[in-house]
Amino acid sequence: MCKLYLPVLAVVVTFQSCSPAKDLDDTISSGKWIDLSYDLSAQTLYWPNNPTNFKLDTTAEGITPGGFYYSTNAFSAPEHGGTHLDAPIHFAQHGLTVDKVDVDRLTGDAVVIDVSANALANRDYLVSTGDIANWEKKYGAIKENSIVLFKTGYGQFYPDAAKYFGTAEKGASAIPKLHFPGIDPTAATWLVQHKVKAVGIDTPSIDYGQSKDFKTHQILLGAGICGFENIANINLLPATKAYIVALPMKIKNGTGGPLRIIAWVKG
């Protein structure tokens, strides 16, 4: 087995045997890339008590004195909102900051565990080890260094805050009214024990809305496992055989950051 590299995307795709460039082109063209990220805009969803949101200001736009068109913007945004990454330091005092997370931990083969039937019926649903066990009965054991994504079905509600968060209210008083699915701490412990690379979900948080101690964050991030939150288009992914590239903004000393996450799936 060898590894071939896509120079433009700096993506490693593993194949059973080495092939010349044409074979690599044929392999990539036999599949497609799926964007799993929401765009950043005034509609981007942030935690209700967040004092700021995404802001984009035009600093120049138009025809210059030299006769050519030129435009540029300035933006500001919290680290955690929209499709984003939680770096270990977000909930682990001595964890890695986002700029120190190895790219290898953010790229790799992914599995998608669909819990939407239960989650859509219960806004406070917690993904369990039973959900993982049921998936493995159908598709086989989850391999070490897999990226595990959970599909709750709540991505269909984004960016409607009332449907996605469970409330459209703002401020600290809205926090107790958050109702959306997350990952049970016992399932988080299972993921740590089985040495997965990263964990993602199509809700605002890997902990469910009613969490008070964010135990799933503590367990996963404490073990150096990054979280991907607010994943888009997860419904377009197969249960297996997707390859994930999840590259966050490289903020020095950041606790997380906006994430451009994409998946390659075989056609």
Q: Are strands 226-229 and 2-6 parallel, antiparallel or unpaired?
A: unpaired
pLDDT of 27: 61
Determine the residue type at 62: G
Over residues 17-35, the mean pLDDT reads: 68
Distance CA 170, CA 50 (A): 8
Distance CA 245, CA 10 (A): 10
Q: Are strands 182-183 and 147-151 parallel, antiparallel or unpaired?
A: unpaired
pLDDT of 10: 42
Distance CA 101, CA 82 (A): 20
Distance CA 53, CA 82 (A): 10
Q: Longest Cα pair distance anywhere in the chain, in angstroms?
A: 67
What percent of the chain lies above the pLDDT cut of 70? 90
Q: SS3 of 32, please?
A: strand
Distance CA 218, CA 184 (A): 12
User: Using 50, 70 and 90 to split pLDDT, how confident is the model at 29?
Assistant: confident
Q: Are strands 69-76 and 31-35 parallel, antiparallel or unpaired?
A: unpaired
**CATH number of the structural domain 34-51+79-266:** 3.50.30.50
E strands of the chain, at which residues? 2-6, 11-15, 31-35, 55-63, 69-76, 84-86, 107-114, 126-127, 147-151, 182-183, 198-201, 226-229, 242-248, 256-266
- pLDDT surpassing 90 at residue 6: no
Determine the residue type at 122: N
- pLDDT surpassing 80 at residue 19: no
Mean pLDDT across the chain: 92
- Which of 213, 159, 160, 144 lies closest to 182, judged by CA? 213
Over residues 131-143, the mean pLDDT reads: 98
Over residues 28-33, the mean pLDDT reads: 85
pLDDT of 267: 78
Whether the full predicted model's pTM is greater than 0.85, yes or no, is yes
Over residues 8-34, the mean pLDDT reads: 59
Give per-residue pLDDT as tens, 62-75. Answer: 999 999 999 999 99
pLDDT of 16: 46
User: Using 50, 70 and 90 to split pLDDT, how confident is the model at 22?
Assistant: low
pLDDT of 7: 38
pLDDT of 149: 98
The full set of domain ranges for the chain reads: 34-51+79-266
Give per-residue pLDDT as tens, 156-208. Answer: 999 999 999 999 999 999 999 999 999 999 999 999 999 999 999 999 999 99
- pLDDT surpassing 90 at residue 11: no
pLDDT of 23: 53
pLDDT of 30: 84
Any residues with CB less than 8 A from the CB of 243 and at least 6 apart, and which? Answer: 11, 13, 107, 108, 109, 110, 263, 264, 265
More confident residue, 5 or 100: 100
Distance CA 123, CA 259 (A): 25
Burial pattern 145-181, b for ≥16 Cβ within 10 A else e, equals ebbbbbbbbbbebbeebeebbbbeeeeeebbeebebb
User: Using 50, 70 and 90 to split pLDDT, how confident is the model at 4?
Assistant: very low
Q: Are 145 and 12 spatial neighbours (Cβ–Cβ below 8 Å)?
A: no
- pLDDT surpassing 70 at residue 20: no
DSSP string, 224-263: T-EEEES---GGGS-SS-EEEEEEE---TT-SEEEEEEEE
